[in-house]
């Protein structure tokens, strides 16, 4: 059975992710108490369901504390993926204010911001169990596309993810390793290259011609290759390597694409571009 667990902060896009799973043919359940997971999986398996998507979060109350142990046990029985969605506090405050929805952990004694911080503390141990996605700067369509990429993977083995971003928009919350390539020549200052991206032939040719680009690419590639076995031994399901330049259009995109192309032959690999999305 394939099981995709959706967890994360309220307002970070869990409903969108669950809808993607439902559209992909998964039997979906929202807001299932964590302690009911084993019984639910047994029931679904016994009735012929081979794919399920279940949202489990802080609304489960005290039973949510059981989730890390349950995930460990369930991974021995089913093909389990856990997707953890998070966003910056300012983004979540704005989303709740715009929709005028009440945060599930807010109360007369706890403000919206305090409820968000409290929920982040409660979920801290869960984020490390699966694929983290920072939805702060993502549109709903971009999030849908990223969820589709994740569930399209054939099995729940270790996944290496390269993401590009622009430092002027902030470092992604879901990054495990961050590399800064802003010291390299910037195609932005070439008027012909400015509207293009690191996936376009002209920009690729420009960066290929710079010796320092090749040197830094080789250094990052060697660093990731050297330490990757340690992350795998740490029982991680994912490792997110973030490459940042100023705007997230040219250099970081080029590096993410090149690194992904190198590792895809030996590792389950994904690539995404936050600012292009």
Q: What is the pLDDT along the chain (277 residues), one digit of tens a residue?
A: 899 999 999 999 999 999 999 999 999 999 999 999 999 999 999 999 999 999 998 887 777 788 888 998 998 889 999 999 999 999 999 998 888 888 888 887 888 899 999 898 888 788 888 889 999 988 899 999 999 988 887 666 788 999 999 999 999 999 999 999 999 999 999 999 999 999 999 999 999 999 999 999 999 999 999 999 999 888 788 899 999 999 999 999 999 999 999 999 998 899 999 999 7
Question: Which of 30, 81, 79 has its CA nearest to residue 59?
Answer: 30
CA distance 237 to 3: 14
Span 67-118, pLDDT tens digits:
888 998 998 889 999 999 999 999 999 998 888 888 888 887 888 899 999 8
CA dihedral sign of residues 72, 74, 76, 78: negative
Cα(first)–Cα(last) distance of the chain, in Å? 32
C-beta separation of 217 from 256 below 8 A? no
Q: Which CATH superfamily is domain 2-152 in?
A: P-loop containing nucleotide triphosphate hydrolases (3.40.50.300)
Domain boundaries, the chain: 2-152, 159-273
59 is an annotated ligand-binding site residue: yes
13 is an annotated ligand-binding site residue: yes
C-beta separation of 236 from 198 below 8 A? no
137 is an annotated ligand-binding site residue: no
List all residues 6 or more positions away from 64 whose beta carbon is below 8 Å from its beta carbon: 34, 56, 57, 58, 122
Question: Which of 165, 148, 161, 142 has its CA nearest to residue 273?
Answer: 165
In 3-state terms, what secondary structure has residue 206? Answer: helix
CA dihedral sign of residues 145, 172, 104, 100: negative
CA distance 146 to 141: 9
63 is an annotated ligand-binding site residue: no
- pLDDT at 154 (0 to 100): 65
- pLDDT at 227 (0 to 100): 95
Buried b or exposed e, range 212-234, using 16+ CB within 10 angstroms: ebeebbeebeeebeeebeebeee
12 is an annotated ligand-binding site residue: yes
| Residue 204 token pair | 């690729």
136 is an annotated ligand-binding site residue: no
182 is an annotated ligand-binding site residue: no
Sheet holding 268-273, edge to edge: 177-180, 238-245, 159-166, 268-273
CA dihedral sign of residues 147, 150, 153, 155: negative
Question: Which of 50, 125, 22 has its CA nearest to residue 14?
Answer: 22
pTM: 0.81
- pLDDT at 158 (0 to 100): 86
Residue with tokens 């990429």: 149
170 is an annotated ligand-binding site residue: no
- pLDDT at 108 (0 to 100): 79
Can you spell out the DSSP letters for 118-163?
Answer: HHHHHTHHHHTTSEEEE-TT--HHHHHHHHHHHHTSSSSS-EEEEE
C-beta separation of 83 from 54 below 8 A? no
Which DSSP letter does residue 186 get? P
- pLDDT at 253 (0 to 100): 98
247 is an annotated ligand-binding site residue: no
157 is an annotated ligand-binding site residue: no
CA distance 159 to 196: 29
């Amino acid at each position: 059975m394939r099981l995709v667990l959706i967890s994360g902060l309220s307002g970070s896009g869990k409903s969108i992710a669950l809808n993607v799973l439902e559209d992909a043919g998964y039997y979906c359940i929202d807001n299932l108490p964590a302690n009911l997971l084993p019984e639910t999986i047994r029931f679904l398996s016994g009735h012929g369901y081979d794919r399920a998507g279940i949202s489990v979060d802080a609304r489960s109350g005290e039973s949510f504390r059981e989730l890390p142990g349950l995930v460990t046990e369930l991974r021995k029985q089913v093909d389990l993926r856990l997707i953890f969605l998070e966003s910056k506090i300012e983004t979540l405050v704005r989303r709740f204010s715009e929709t005028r929805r009440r945060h599930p952990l807010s109360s007369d004694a706890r403000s919206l911001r305090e409820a968000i911080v409290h929920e982040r503390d409660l979920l801290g141990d869960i984020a490390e169990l699966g694929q983290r996605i920072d939805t702060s700067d993502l549109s709903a369509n971009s999030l849908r596309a990223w969820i589709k990429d994740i569930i399209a993977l054939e099995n729940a083995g270790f996944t290496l993810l390269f993401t590009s971003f622009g430092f002027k928009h902030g470092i992604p919350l879901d990054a495990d390793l961050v590399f800064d390539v802003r010291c390299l020549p910037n195609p932005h200052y070439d008027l012909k290259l400015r509207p293009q991206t690191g996936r376009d032939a002209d920009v690729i040719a420009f960066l290929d011609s710079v010796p320092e680009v090749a040197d830094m690419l080789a250094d990052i590639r060697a660093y990731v290759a050297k330490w990757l076995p340690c992350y795998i031994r740490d029982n991680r399901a994912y490792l997110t390597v973030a490459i940042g330049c100023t705007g997230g259009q040219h250099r970081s995109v080029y590096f993410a694409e090149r690194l992904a192309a190198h590792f895809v032959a030996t590792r389950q690999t994904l690539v995404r571009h936050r600012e292009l999305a």
